[in-house]
Amino acid sequence: MITVGLVEDNATVRQSLQEMIEAAPGLRCVCACATAKESMTVIPRLRPEVVLMDLHLAGESGVTATERLLEKLPDLHVLILTVYKDPEEIFKALKAGAKGYLLKRARPQQILDAITEVCSGGAPMSSEIARLVVQSFRTSATAGNVREEHGLSHRESEILALLSEGLTNRDIAARLGISFETVRSHLGHVYEKLRVKSRTEAVSKYLKSGSPA
């Protein structure tokens, strides 16, 4: 019998997940927490084997809750179950120690199978998430090629990668936590080093550099 805990702030979703797990052979839901704060008390006491963790919780994020729970329970298997498929959120969660990442729109059987899989040493992910992870690694490889070939700084190659995703200068500034003017300055250096005069030319050269990978 695999014991499961839930951390989900939406009452309807929390109840549906609880009922689904209770109805599944070999699984038992031992707790259903509405907040990260509640999970810090309940989960270490009941010690479920697997926790389904939402990312965006009231008060404290699912990423922080995952880190704190794993400090207390290193053998705990945390599966992220969320509506978010932002690559940045995915890597934050995996870096925090999550063993898998599923979207809430996954079929119920996929969620149940993931619980069993993670207990067997697997790292279950929704197919969309797996593709994003692969794409992110390819983007990192491309950035490395461009940085090495044209002598870009780490920040310059980072900005160029975001530019290739279609982000505006203001979007890039918000993503990196820097000013709009700083982004413009870095892009000026990027254009100069790549010997291009426009965003389109810069992105084109960036993508071509990644083609061999």
Domains and CATH numbers, the chain: 2-125 (3.40.50.2300), 131-209 (3.40.50.2300)
Tokens 């990668």, residue located: 161
Q: Which of 190, 161, 162, 157 is nearest to 175 (CA)?
A: 162
Q: Which two tokens stand for residue 126?
A: 């929704």
Find the range with the poorest average confidence among 19-28, 52-61, 75-84, 128-137. 128-137
pLDDT category, 200, cuts 50, 70, 90?
confident
Q: What percent of the chain has pLDDT over 70?
A: 85
pLDDT tens, residue by residue, 47-56: 999 999 999 8
Give the residue-averaged pLDDT of 138-144. 51
Asked if residue 141 has pLDDT above 60, the reply is: no
CA 26/CA 96 separation, integer angstroms? 28
Q: Which of 148, 159, 154, 143 is nearest to 191 (CA)?
A: 159
DSSP lists the bridge partners of residue 53 as 7, 80
pLDDT category, 81, cuts 50, 70, 90?
very high
pLDDT tens, residue by residue, 168-188: 888 888 888 889 999 999 999
Mean pLDDT estimate for the chain: 84
CA 194/CA 8 separation, integer angstroms? 47
Give pLDDT, residue 17.
97
Give the residue-averaged pLDDT of 9-20. 96
Give the residue-averaged pLDDT of 66-75. 95
pTM of the predicted model as reported, rounded to 2 decimal places: 0.63
